[in-house]
Structure 1
């Protein structure tokens, strides 16, 4: 079994992690053209697959694929959570001199990167891995289509915006991303673990578990964005504040769309209350 020291090394001290740098020439998927073409391809494939499946009477049997996907996503979410947590602790340890000189606490750093921060090093490596996992997250759309479930605008919008926001985090070294990734991966490891649990036939919760988790995550994101805004004016500026503004608007849009979807799809049809669109 891997020791704690080995785990810390492979998650925060490996040369590939310490020496990571977000680059349009070296990092796969790091260009704007790739970002928009991948989102466009995802939407077109979803609509095309929906058109093909529309005239099929029975759902396409997927066997254990959705369950295995949920298990893998739970594992990768937990790995990213642990990796960025260890990496953030290592960055704080290596830059102790910085905190006293700038009168900044580690928690403030989690919300507000200093001006001039570049997308390199440990935490940005795990931010990059998180960005790549957003593409794996879109597979749930195809599973839903093959199962003859509705292809909603919210589903396409939500997945597309998640990819865009995680790209902006890296491209502009946006503040808040460490805490954002910690919150998202912790919730998603639980959500995907629960989905695996129910996919293999075990009994689910007697309340809309996944929806409550997602509402909690979205609410935490909104609160943290308020914290970034306050620190931006208090500390004289947070890095990537322009991208943060776009991120905030998109988060509010997702929250409003999610609440609207919940009111329309779940309060009117209580028997489907445990279904979710992400």
Structure 2
């Protein structure tokens, strides 16, 4: 089984010889990124201002469940595939050489991860169509919009450390989309807090690993994509602050303390 996974997720010719080339790889241009972000933000603003009636739950919930199942399976595949790619990589994934080319399995899965973030934008549409606008927080929209920029920069700058971030983020999303999928089919799991806790741990872990990357960067010939990492670090810091605030407001009540 491991050899089959190794072939289909790492050594398949389409993956092994993948190359990110701006202007040639689909969705690789800055213009595409800008248009995608503007479309997402403008449509979100427009749809929240229109007097839309909530979509019939009998229709919306199966579609939402399928969407969440798709992202759950995709996240699981990306987490496993990138882990195998890291183990197969001859160079350090914490610090790419400044002359690294965006080719091979690691960059293939970074590209798939980038495209998956476009698919995740549908989360916002399902919230709007359900009529639950109170769930459409600043954190939700900010996270979905900015993570797309972050993933683009992983590829654009050939950013060191992204494989570790991809594995941890995809792993957390397996748990998160499993929760959302169960909710969509009428099952309310009792581990919602665990999803938020894992997201917070993910951000803390990213800063801990970044310390090692920075040491390698300043003690050697440098690591590729350091400016992309700077954006990533600021973004993660802002998300950590927002998630801590969300965690405090959502789980600090007396009822939670008794559970």
Alignment TM-score, normalising by the size of structure 1: 0.83
Q: Give the whole-Å Cα distance in 1 for the aligned partners of 2:178 and 2:37.
A: 26
CA drift at 1:203: 4.5
Please report how far the alpha carbon of residue 207 of structure 1 lies from its aligned counterpart in structure 2 after TM superposition.
5.8
Number of aligned pairs? 252
Aligned-CA RMSD value: 2.1
Q: Secondary structure at the match of 1:63?
A: helix
Is the Cα–Cα contact under 8 Å of residues 191 and 213 in structure 1 kept in the other structure?
A: no
Deviation string, structure 1 residues 47-80 (Cα, Å, up to 9, x no partner): 1111124x64x56521311211111111000111
Match of 1:230 in 2: 215
What is the Cα deviation at residue 11 of structure 1? 0.8
Is 2:129 the partner of 1:129?
Answer: no
Whether 1:209 and 2:212 are equivalent positions in the alignment is: no
| Deviation >3 Å, runs of 4+ | 261-271
Within 5 Å, which residues of 2 pair with 1:1-278?
3-53=1-51, 56=53, 58=54, 60-61=56-57, 62-92=60-90, 109-147=92-130, 148-150=132-134, 151-205=136-190, 208-264=193-249, 267=252
- Long gaps (5+) in structure 2: none
- SS across alignment from 1:229: helix
TM-score, length-scaled by structure 2: 0.89
| Kept after mapping to 1: 8 A contact 2:172/2:195 | no
With over 3 angstroms needed to count, the CA separation of the structure-2 counterparts of 1:207 and 1:133, relative to structure 1, is closer
- Structure 1: runs of 5+ lacking an equivalent: 93-105, 272-278
Q: 1:150-190: CA deviations, max 9, x gaps?
A: 22222111111110001000001000101010111111112
Distance change in 2, residues 1:141/1:174 (3 Å): same
CA distance in 2, matches of 1:134, 1:206: 24
String of CA shifts for 1:223-243, please: whole Å, max 9, x gaps.
222232222122331111111
